[in-house]
Every structure is written in structure tokens, then in C-alpha cells.
């Protein structure tokens, strides 16, 4: 299975609905790329909701901007920058989402601290990643196992409330901000 075939085995809308994303929510997609999760999230939260897409890749954000415009999605704000350095809002987010990116950051302490600042009290941090033994995605040497990711998130002060597999290649960690 190739990563290019991702939509055949990983349905972003289904994942977002299963984590509880709903109309009116504010969703921050950290490492959004070209919008694999940001576009379906924008459709779910609707006009009353808000999406913030943060990525260090300007070309990916340009593609996201074009796609959002073509689908007439006015509820997405784009920000080019590094998660270690950017706080998009304070206490505004219902969800801060990391989709297959947590292993990419140079300073996880800063990234998770910023996530905590952006979340509302009781807001949810979501980490979706490839399993350590999957043969797709980043090299195995940099992937986090679900246990390692859970431990990192708990050490940052979040309350992990669920860890589950997303077949066939991924896992999901759901954690709550203590506020």
C-alpha cells in the first residue's frame, strides 16, 4: 500500500467525526500540510466554526489556500511557521490536532506547551500517527510507538483519555487539557 493511496484506507472525515468534532468548533491543525484534515474539518465545523492551519511549508499552505477557495471554505486561517514558535490563539481551541507530525518537531516540550495554551479548558489534543511497525510513512527510527507518544503527551501535563488503533496502519491518542 502506498501513501498516495491514503484516502483508500484512512478516511479523514470519519476520524474527525469519531473524535467528536462538530459544527461550531475551533480546530487547530498543526503541521496541516495541504489540508488532508483541515479541509474536511472546515466542512464539519461549518460557517460558525473555525480552522487554523499551521505549517512551515509555504507551498503546502498555498495548495491548501487554493483548495479551500475552490470549495468556498471561508473558515480556514493559514499561518506559516513552526509549532515551537507559534501560538495561534489563547484558550480558543476545542481541538489541537497533530496528524502524523509529532515525531517531526525539534522541541516537543515547546510544541505541546503551545498546544496547551491554545486549548480551551477541557479541550482535546489529538495525536494521529502511523504505528511503529507499519511499513509506510516516516522511517521507523523516527516514529513514536503509541506508548511513547502517550508518555510524551502525559509528561506535558495532558490527561490521556483514550488510545486506540485506526486500522490498518495508525493509532490515535486523545488527551484532555487540564485547563
Which residue carries 473555525 as its cell? 50
Q: Domain residue spans in the chain?
A: 26-176
Q: How confident is the model at residue 5 (pLDDT cuts 50, 70, 90)?
A: low
The CA distance from 170 to 93, in Å, is 24
pLDDT digits 0-9 by tens, 32-47: 999 999 999 999 999 9
Residue closest to 10 by CA, chosen among 129, 139, 149: 129
Average pLDDT, the chain: 93
Predicted confidence (pLDDT) at residue 3 exceeds the cutoff of 90:
no
Reported pTM: 0.94
The CATH architecture of the domain made up of 26-176 is 3-Layer(aba) Sandwich (3.40)
The yes-or-no verdict on residue 1 having pLDDT over 70 is no
Question: Is the pLDDT confidence value at 17 over 60?
Answer: yes
What is residue 134's predicted lDDT score, i.e. its pLDDT?
86
108 has a pLDDT exceeding 60: yes
Helix 108-118 to helix 146-155 angle (10° resolution) is 60
Amino acid at each position: 500500500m502506498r501513501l498516495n493511496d491514503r484516502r483508500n484506507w484512512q478516511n479523514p472525515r470519519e476520524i474527525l467525526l469519531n473524535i467528536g468534532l462538530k459544527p461550531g468548533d475551533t480546530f487547530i491543525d498543526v503541521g496541516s500540510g495541504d489540508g488532508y484534515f483541515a479541509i474536511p474539518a472546515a466542512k464539519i465545523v461549518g460557517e460558525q466554526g473555525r480552522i487554523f492551519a499551521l505549517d512551515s511549508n509555504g507551498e503546502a499552505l498555498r495548495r491548501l489556500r487554493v483548495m479551500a477557495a475552490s470549495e468556498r471554505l471561508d473558515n480556514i486561517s493559514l499561518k506559516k511557521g513552526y509549532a515551537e514558535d507559534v501560538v495561534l490563539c489563547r484558550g480558543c481551541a476545542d481541538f489541537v490536532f497533530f496528524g502524523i507530525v509529532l515525531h517531526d518537531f525539534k522541541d516537543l516540550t515547546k510544541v505541546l506547551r503551545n498546544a496547551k495554551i491554545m486549548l480551551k479548558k477541557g479541550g482535546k489534543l489529538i495525536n494521529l500517527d502511523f504505528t511503529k511497525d507499519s511499513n509506510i510513512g516516516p522511517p521507523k527510527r523516527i516514529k513514536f510507538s503509541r506508548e511513547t507518544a502517550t508518555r510524551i503527551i502525559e509528561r506535558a501535563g495532558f490527561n490521556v483519555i483514550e488510545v486506540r488503533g485506526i486500522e490498518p496502519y495508525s493509532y490515535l491518542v486523545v488527551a484532555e487539557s487540564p485547563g
